[in-house]
Amino acid sequence: MKTALTIAGSDSSGGAGIQADLKTMTMNGVYAMSAITALTAQNTTGVRAIMEVTPEFLQQQIDAVFEDIRPDAVKIGMVSSGELIRVIAERLRFYRAGNVVVDPVMVATSGSALMKTDAVQTLMDELLPLAELVTPNIPEAEILSGMSIRTAEDMEKAAKQISGDRHCAVLLKGGHSINDANDLLCEDGKITWFEGKRIDNPNTHGTGCTLSSAIAANLAKGFALDESVRRAKEYISGALGAMLDLGKGAGPMKHNFDLNSRFAEEAN
Ligand SMILES: Nc1ncnc2c1ncn2[C@@H]1O[C@H](COP(=O)(O)OP(=O)(O)O)[C@@H](O)[C@H]1O
Ligand SMILES: Cc1ncc(COP(=O)(O)OP(=O)(O)O)c(N)n1
């Protein structure tokens, strides 16, 4: 069985972070493992508190995984400080990790900051050059590229700039644009658009975490980058389209929407 590791923060409400990643990787057919960077006390209405792990403890988790069950892909999500980012980069270099997908989580949809401002430069300098793919949403791409993004042409320009500067492929996600949910992949200077019909569902908590984990799972299974993105878009459209409605705010998606086993029958 192929394997994947998520290095990210825990979301107590289960819709984003480590919890979304483990569900997504499992549903996409790989064995899922985790190294937790921080605990968050959050629900569908917002983040109440964050408790970071120490750099030493993060390193111990990563070492414990790599020394035993080597991951075929690694997804990186919320990492709030430069110190933790440096530990991850050093360990990934040490283990020569492949299929690294970085979701540069900076601010939750609810408005809470999930990365310290002074960690952004460390992310760009240390982690992005190790990534096969980085998956910013529009506000994150504005920070990484230093330009404002209003149009599809702006998206192409920003993706090319980040990709050229950091030597990694970029998937710029269009979930925050007012039109359809169209994402663009910039790989070695080549632009490919992935068109997604916008699903009229306000429950989008964890969409970024879910997409990047689904891409990592498909890379672990050996699919090429563009095919992994296509499969991940199909998965997230299914999870959003299942119209789960939980919580008082922007709720989670139905990660197990396409389970057709006996267990799913029981869960429905
Ligand atoms: N309402 C929606 N309908 C269909 N796809 C969506 C919707 N909202 C977001 N997506 C998709 O979910 C993925 C995550 O996008 P986005 O919401 O921009 O990321 P983030 O959660 O990091 O802000 C992208 O593939 C995006 O196109
Ligand atoms: C622990 C944790 N990690 C990441 C997020 C943000 O999730 P993401 O899918 O990028 O975006 P939204 O859910 O904010 O749309 C989080 N909230 N918690």
Q: What is the pLDDT of residues 222-245, one digit of tens each?
A: 999 999 999 999 999 999 999 999
- Contacts of residue 222, defined as CB under 8 A and 6 or more positions apart, other chains included, come to 2
pLDDT of residue 37: 98
Q: Give the model confidence (pLDDT) of 179-192 as tens digits.
A: 688 999 999 999 99
Break the chain into its structural domains and give their ranges.
3-255
Q: Give the model confidence (pLDDT) of 9-57 as tens digits.
A: 999 999 999 999 999 999 999 999 999 999 999 999 999 999 999 999 9
Q: Which of 236, 254, 255, 257 to mutate to test the pocket of ligand 1 (most atoms within 8 A of CB)?
A: 236
Nearest to 156, CA basis, from 175, 177, 170, 139: 170
Query: What are the helix and strand counts (H, E) for the chain?
Result: 9, 9
- Residue whose token pair is 């190294």: 35
Read off the pLDDT band of 178 (50, 70, 90).
low
Residue nearest to atom 10 of ligand 2 (CA): 208
Nearest to 193, CA basis, from 163, 245, 155: 155
Task: Give Dmax (Cα) for the chain.
Answer: 50
Mean pLDDT of 148-163: 95
Read off the pLDDT band of 109 (50, 70, 90).
confident
Answer whether 0.90 is exceeded by the pTM. yes
Q: Which amino acid is at 84?
A: L
The per-residue pLDDT of the chain, averaged, comes to: 94
Read off the pLDDT band of 260 (50, 70, 90).
low
- Residue whose token pair is 């790599």: 66
State in Å: Cα 210 to ligand 2 middle. 9
State in Å: Cα 262 to ligand 2 middle. 31
Q: List the catalytic residues.
A: 173, 204, 206-209
State the architecture of 3-255 in CATH terms: 3-Layer(aba) Sandwich (3.40)
Contact (CB, 8 A) for 248 and 15: no
Q: Which of 105, 138, 215 to mutate to test the pocket of ligand 2 (most atoms within 8 A of CB)?
A: 105
Read off the pLDDT band of 268 (50, 70, 90).
very low
Ramachandran angles phi, psi of 15, nearest 5°: -95, -25
Tokens standing for residue 98: 């492949």
